[in-house]
Structure 1
Amino acid sequence: MAATGLHWARIVALALAIGTVAVANAAAAPPQVALPAAPADTPDTAVDALAPPPPRAVDAADLSAYVDGVIEGYMRRLGIAGVTVAVVDQQGPLLLRGYGMAAQSPHRDVDPARTLFRVGSVSKTFTYLEALKLIDAGKLSLDAPVNDYLPADLRLPDDGYPPVLVRHLLTHSAGYEDTALGHLFASAPESSLSLHDYLLNHRPARVRAPGTHAVYSNYSLALLGAVLARVNDVPFEALAERDLFEPMGMPLTTFREPLGQGDARSADARFQGLWSQGFKREGGGYTSEPFEYIAQIAPAGSVSSNAADMARYLTMLVNRGQLDGRQIIPAAAFARLEGEPLFRNAPDATGFAYGFFRKRYGQVQSLEHGGATLYFHSNLVAVPELGFGVFVSTNTDNGARLAAELPQLLLQRYFPRARDAALPAPPKDFATRGLVYAGKYLGERRPFLGFEKLLLASAATVAVTDDGYLTLTAGGESSRWVEEKPHVFRALQGPGRLAFLVGQDGAVTGFVSPGGHDVYDRAGTLDDSQLLIALIVLAALTALAVITGAWMRRWKRRNGEAMAAMRSAQWLYITAAAWLVLAVLLAIAAVGIVQGGDALMFSYPGLPLRLALWWALPVMLLTAVCIVQLWPAWRARTWGFWRKLRHTGAVAIFAFAAVLMWSWNMVGWKL
């Protein structure tokens, strides 16, 4: 904060000095001969120079006091180590502020003019703008197949779906599953692949036809970055510097990271010592976390920047592409951003305008994008209609709420047009009519073909209250919604909208997330991960009971027992033992995953999990043998009804658990 005060003091001092010189020069100037009046259609430059600047969009003093109070409240309540903020109007910064610490050993305060925060997926907006400029210049076609712009080894294979077009990369609608574990972040510079190698080695599967749904995809943006680099014949990091960062005067903004001198993508010496540490809140304090390397997927998320540079960026956005009298983004190209979004998952859902989210606040719409790494949470919101923009970033793992909510608070405080109309009262019959929406849903932004499906699946539950509200529970948090029109709901708190999807038969099939970047489908019986876990536990208990029963019967005479029935029992004993071993291996893997925390993002799958899932294969095969061996058991005359029932019940539990495990990709080759 001290640095911010010094920054503004210098600006005020410079303004006063310029004003004093101007007054002195005017007093000393000799009298001038009167000139004829200029024609009415000729601009009077002297008068224009003396005209007062237009009023600011917001009173800076009130803004400063309000933001200080809001942020300090969030920091105390949530335990956030550091925050950086930029608020601008069309004339430039209204507020540049840093709060808290950027490092603790040794201590370093957040400086809005120097401290670098990792902005995560806000990085994508620069990639989008570079693509938009090429599209406007005719060098890139929205409706051309992506393969037209890729080298031979990176071209997307024919996987039975129509080709991916450039527009699909800009709208997250290419149809990719979403994977992340072990490759999205790197823990050391030497682990950071080149963009080319990443795209080649970590290509996710396409699981739906392009243009079906917008489902957020980091891979799509990395692929778009490769397209841009090849079209321009310039490395991506250098391309962003040449076309965006340098023209906008953003010297401390970069896609580069401290990768070492041997890597052409490495940041130069001027960035050294400026990065904020990332923090984890634990035990009432903060743990400093290692640098998160994202160079391998740079176009999707590797940017580091400070509040001062991001203020320059925001000022360009709220001035519709202009900054300091220069047209950074051609006017026609910027008009595309403010036009109808390229894609929406539903008519009332948040749409994608060349990658930017087009979110509605009252009567106005934003151009915005959020971003997160493991420890940083950021948000960029520009509203050209209001000439107002906000950037906020936090450096702590629990800072997401502040980043998400501050821009909305400022818009609704200072701009009546950004406030939603009063909420309608819940319809009286909605408590019963709304039951068509109730149930469990599973997000499409997840892995489909690998075991990550279980670890990264996003589930949501929709319910209806007795007083006619809809409740949405996801990610451990619940929110309330009120019906605005058929299949569209407004949030009780905030401007969000929830749009449900309906099939041709009129049945509700899913909903679009309030952000517009994911679709949640109704979950079937096999889509419930809690049922999977319950069945594995039940299978383990059943296995324990089977082995215990076998031990208790070990001295009983088996005279007259058919050999086939004995084999059926022995196969069940062997299968039960295998299930017990599997349960132990899965428990060890689960403990390692929980204790490892964020390590799973850097190193996956790990030996315990690998052993468990490869062991699952013989367990499933043994279970299949037990199913085949049911017939001799049922025919055994020496077995009583209850023994046959117990035997059949055990096999049924093993079989059902195996089916669920197969459904959730719990086999070794699907890691």
Structure 2
Amino acid sequence: MSSSIRKMVCKMMLLVLLGATLGATWLGMKAPVSAEAYSSGLSSGTQEKGIAVNLDNKEQLAAFIDGIMDVQMDSLQIPGAVISIVKDGKILLSKGYEHSNIEDNKPVDPETSLFRIASTTKLFTWTAVMQLVEEGKLDLDTDVNTYLKTVKIPPTYAEPITLRHLMTHTAGFEEGGVGYQITTDPEKLPVSIVETMANHMPARVMPPGAMLAYSNYGASLAGLIVEEVSGIAYNDYIQKNIFDPLSMKYATVEEPVPASLKPYAVLGYARANGEYVTKRPTFEGGFRPAGSGSVSANDMAHFMIAHLQDGQYEDKQILKPETARLMHSPAFQFDERLPAMDLGFYELNMNGLRVISHGGADELFNTALYLVPDQQVGIFVSYSGGDGGTAAGGLAQAFFDRYYPAHITNQSAATSIELGEPLEKYAGSYQFTRRNHTKIDKFFSFLTQINIEVSDNRLSIGSGADQQVYTPIGVNLFQEVGGKHQMGFRTDTEGKVTYLFLDILNPMPLEPTPLINQSKFWLPLLGISAVLFITVLLGAVYRRRQIKAMPRAQKWAVLLSVVTSVWSLVTLGATLLVMNIDLIDRLSHIPLSLRLYLFMPLILVGWSVAIVTMNVLAWKNKYWTLPKRVYYTFVTLAAVTLCLFFYHWNLLGWHFG
């Protein structure tokens, strides 16, 4: 997998807290160590001479994983990691690496060390939903309002939202989170799921079932349904119906972890001044069905075995076979040629194998879980800091390259003539469906877009060393050149592109970015406006004597342009600072600085109204020469442009979720 795509996946996992969707462009970033390096020369399906590949050989498997981890822990600055691998109902490998607590020199123990698994927690929630479905208490295709006792989803669209929509992330909710997604204060716990769902309901922005848009709210809403239909608190339901029957003794969805498990909680670390330092933990609060789990590797092995064995672990059955198989079957497909979205799991194509998966990340932990039903194989890996998202993807690919190497096939590229039309229709800017539309969160996706270009009958993403090139292999389908990944498009009846799907980013597709949302539209306008404001200030200094001699009305007009320019530049500078507010700060509370900042665009609107009025007077009364009036008009338009920018990105007023 190319570095930029892998980096994008990591960012998307981290921003499972907010959306995806969000931050910087994620393209052209530093290249990670390759999967080949991770595996110490044993990936890509090649082996040392005389060594046969056998997954059941535990010694070979342990040596192989050790080789990968040794490289990862150092090169990606990871302080602690754990992995468990299962096959045919047995644990082949369960091992910890480095420390769970550096200060106490405490090693990671795969049996007891609790790693935060973030969004991988959703698999517990989806399993609970399916348990209630097979009991007849829930139906996948019934309006969720039927089951909700307090919260009610508004009828924005004619078609209601169902549990199938929630489990496939096709409910059509926008994403949000600024000020409420998490908390860093354990004193505020526990937080009611129902109150959180009622107080922070996102807008419905797409008809149910139309398209994937990954949603933490949707998963949390499913957790609330489990709670209200079963009559058991969410935490207790998961403990009683999943953890206990699977003998998951070192697992919890409670926040903070119960006192009995606290000694086993792994600390998350960040790198500062060449050393690992602990950082404040984050809690999901009312969103815990979407990401509050803390689990050991051994216990996740039990969970994987149960799902691989049609719901059975040892003599316990947490799901009926037919229910488990339904859960693992495609429930929404962007394109039948591309990986599907199952009921809670998303599919990946790993060297031709159908893998059902889920990952999770917060600021300090990165987790990934991969199940291969046809091979009865499962992998769970979690990292307590560093570039864990890159590490997880590299380890998984190295594992599949060694034990399930891809069979190379020569798939000929299709020409634009064969496809019936040129590739230019696919070129352009794309934005994630998982984003915000109505709140201040929208602003934080300002720079989050992917650009696709066409060259030599191929599509490309990014540039330089991080560029990925795709060649057409069918209608609306493209294959990565020199890689294993695919990209697909949806088009309407007129052939216009409506959606983009990158298989490595399942379940987060993109759609064409309208001009009004494109950074390449706004950045030049903002740049030109800033230059105009600067020239106003320089001109005022240079021509101060001439201005002093002007008639009073003209002098006031110049002064107004100076004040407006100063305020515009200061507001633009403050906007850059707001864009870079620490992610955890903006998700856990509304910083006072953000509340105060939001006065600035409103004041700018006042100055802009004044300068527009003054501009009308300047033309009516013929202030200055014609070129100077034209110049004054451009300055006025620059101020109005800024106001429109703030309005479009929900920065006029306090649009908090």
**What range describes the TM-score normalised by the shorter chain of this pair?**
0.7 to 0.9
> Quick check: 2:533–2:569 contact (8 Å CA) kept in 1?
no
**For residues 228-247 of structure 1, what are the structure 2 equivalents within 5 Å?**
228-247=226-245
CA distance in 1, matches of 2:344, 2:628: 63
Q: Give the counterpart letter for 1:659 in structure 2.
A: L
CA shift, 1:398, in A, is: 1.7
* Equivalent residue runs for 1:327-406 within 5 Å: 327-339=317-329, 341-406=330-395
Any conservation in 2 of the 1:175–1:206 contact (CA below 8 Å)? yes
Select which of 411, 416, 425 maps to 1:424.
Answer: 411
Matched, 1:610 2:605: no
Give how far 1:94 is off.
0.6
Letter matched to residue 364 of structure 1: L
Shift of 1:452: 1.7
Residue type of the partner of 1:450?
Answer: K
Alignment of 1:174-323 (within 5 A): 174-192=171-189, 193-258=191-256, 267-323=257-313
* SS of structure 2 residue aligned to 1:139: coil
Taking the aligned partners of 1:420 and 1:577, their CA distance within structure 2 comes to 67
Deviations 1:566-622 (A, max 9, x none): 36x745643542442343245346447647464333233x23332232221231243
Aligned to 1:11: none
CA distance in 1, matches of 2:342, 2:581: 41
Question: Would you say the 8 A contact 1:572–1:626 is kept in 2?
Answer: no
Give the conservation status (yes or no) of the 8 Å contact 2:444–2:579.
no
Distance 1:653 1:56 in 2: 67
Determine the structure 2 residue equivalent to 1:471.
Answer: 460
Task: Return closer, same or farther for 1:619/1:297 CA change in 2, 3 Å cut-off.
Answer: same
Deviations 1:181-211 (A, max 9, x none): 3322210112342212211221111112111
Q: 1:108: which partner in 2?
A: 106
Deviations 1:382-421 (A, max 9, x none): 11110111000111142101112322332332125xx364
Looking at structure 1, the residues matched to 115 and 266 of structure 2 have their Cα atoms a distance apart, in angstroms, of 6
Q: Which whole-Å deviations, capped at 9, do the CAs of 1:409-452 have from their partners, x for residues lacking one?
A: 32332125xx3643535556699943332221111211111222
Equivalence for 1:584: 570
Q: With the length of structure 2 as denominator, give the TM-score of the two structures.
A: 0.84
SS at match of 1:157: coil
Partner of 2:605: 620
Q: Secondary structure at the match of 1:343?
A: coil
What is the deviation of 1:551? 5.2
Q: CA 1:347 to 1:427, structure 2 compared with 1: closer, same or farther past 3 Å? A: closer
TM-aligned CA distance change 1:61 to 1:73, over 3 Å? same
* Aligned twin of 1:574: 560
Q: Is the 8 A contact 2:86 2:93 kept in 1?
A: yes
1:620 match: secondary structure: helix
2:16 corresponds in structure 1 to: none
CA distance in 1, matches of 2:547, 2:70: 77
What is the deviation of 1:553?
A: 4.6
Please give the alpha-carbon distance, in whole angstroms, between the structure 2 residues aligned to 1:465 and 1:83: 42
> Alpha-carbon deviations, 1:481-516, whole Å to 9, x = none?
332322112334664321112122112233024233
| Partner of residue 65, structure 1 | 63
Name the CA shift for 1:269/1:451 in 2 (closer, same or farther; >3 Å).
closer
Structure 1 residues 572, 443: closer, same or farther in 2, change over 3 A?
farther
Answering whether residue 585 of structure 2 is matched by residue 599 of structure 1, we say yes
Corresponding residue SS for 1:668: coil
Residue 34 of structure 1 is matched in structure 2 by: none
Q: Aligned with 1:406: secondary structure?
A: helix
1:365-394 CA distance string (max 9 Å, x none): 222111111111111111111011100011
Shift, 1:126, TM fit: 1.0
Aligned match of 1:36: none
Q: Contact conserved, 2:413 with 2:472, CA < 8 A, in 1?
A: yes
Match of 1:270, SS?
Answer: coil
Query: Where does residue 18 of structure 1 map in the other structure?
Result: none
Is the Cα–Cα contact under 8 Å of residues 344 and 516 in structure 1 kept in the other structure?
Answer: no
In the TM superposition, what whole-angstrom CA distance separates every residue of 1:298-353 from its partner, at most 9, and x where no partner exists? 110001011111111111222222211332210110121243x2212333343221
The answer to whether the Cα contact below 8 Å between 2:181 and 2:284 also exists between their aligned partners in 1 is: yes
Which residue is equivalent to 1:480? 469
d(CA) in 2 for partners of 1:68 and 1:617? 57
Alignment partner of 1:157 is 2:157: no
Q: Which residue of 1 aligns with 2:40?
A: none
In the TM superposition, what is the alpha-carbon distance from 1:221 to its structure 2 partner?
Answer: 0.5
Shift of 1:228: 0.6
Go from structure 1 to structure 2 and tell me whether the alpha carbon gap of 1:325 and 1:598 turns closer, same or farther (over 3 Å shift): same
Q: Secondary structure at the match of 2:277?
A: strand
1:646 corresponds to 2:631:
yes
The structure with the larger Rg is 1
SS in 1 for 2:375: coil
Q: Which amino acid aligns with 1:346?
A: D
Task: State how far apart, in whole Å, the 2-side matches of 1:187 and 1:560 are.
Answer: 58
Q: What residue in structure 1 maps to residue 648 of structure 2?
A: 663
**Cα pair distance change 1:670/1:135, threshold 3 Å:** same
Q: 1:57 to 1:137 in 2, by over 3 A?
A: farther
d(CA) in 2 for partners of 1:560, 1:186: 57
- Give the count of matched residue pairs: 598
Structure 1 residue 537 displacement after superposition? 4.7
Select 1:173's aligned residue among 155, 170, 175: 170
Matches of residues 43-58 of structure 1 in structure 2 within 5 Å?
A: 58=56
Q: Distance in 1 between matches of 2:566 and 2:516?
A: 23
Q: Which runs of 5+ in 2 are unaligned?
A: 1-52
- Cα distance in 1 for residues equivalent to 2:109 and 2:86: 17
Structure 2 counterparts to residues 382-531 of structure 1, below 5 A:
382-416=371-405, 419=406, 421-422=408-409, 424=411, 426-427=413-414, 433-457=422-446, 458-466=448-456, 468-473=457-462, 478-492=467-481, 495-514=484-503, 515-529=505-519, 531=521
Per-residue deviation at 1:473? Answer: 3.6
Offset of 1:180 from its aligned partner?
A: 2.2
Q: Quick one: structure 1 residues 56 and 329, their matched pair in 2 at CA, closer, same or farther if it must change by over 3 Å?
A: farther
1-side partners of 2:284 and 2:69: how far apart? 28
Q: 1:271, CA displacement in angstroms?
A: 0.4
What is the 5 A alignment of 1:81-100? 81-100=79-98
| Matched-pair contact (CA < 8 Å) for 2:178–2:440 | no
In the superposition, the TM-score normalised over structure 1's length comes to: 0.83
Secondary structure (helix, strand or coil) at the match of 1:353 reads: coil
Range 432-441 or range 499-508, more displaced: 432-441
1:541 deviation in Å? 3.8
Give the share of equivalent positions with the same residue, in percent. Answer: 25
Counterpart amino acid of residue 78 in structure 1: L
Superposed displacement of residue 74, structure 1: 1.9
Moved more, 289-298 or 420-429: 420-429
Amino acid at match of 2:107: D
Amino acid at match of 1:110: V
- Separation in 2, partners of 1:168, 1:379: 23
Q: For residues 74 and 121 of structure 2, what CA distance do their matches in structure 1 show?
A: 28
Partners of 1:216 and 1:518 within 8 A in 2: yes
| Deviates further, 587-596 or 523-532 | 587-596
> Is residue 174–residue 434 contact of structure 2 (8 Å, CA) maintained in 1?
yes
The answer on whether the counterparts of 2:415 and 2:472 sit within 8 Å (CA) in structure 1 is no
Structure 1: gaps (5+ residues): 1-54, 259-266
CA contact (8 A) 2:564 2:639 kept: no
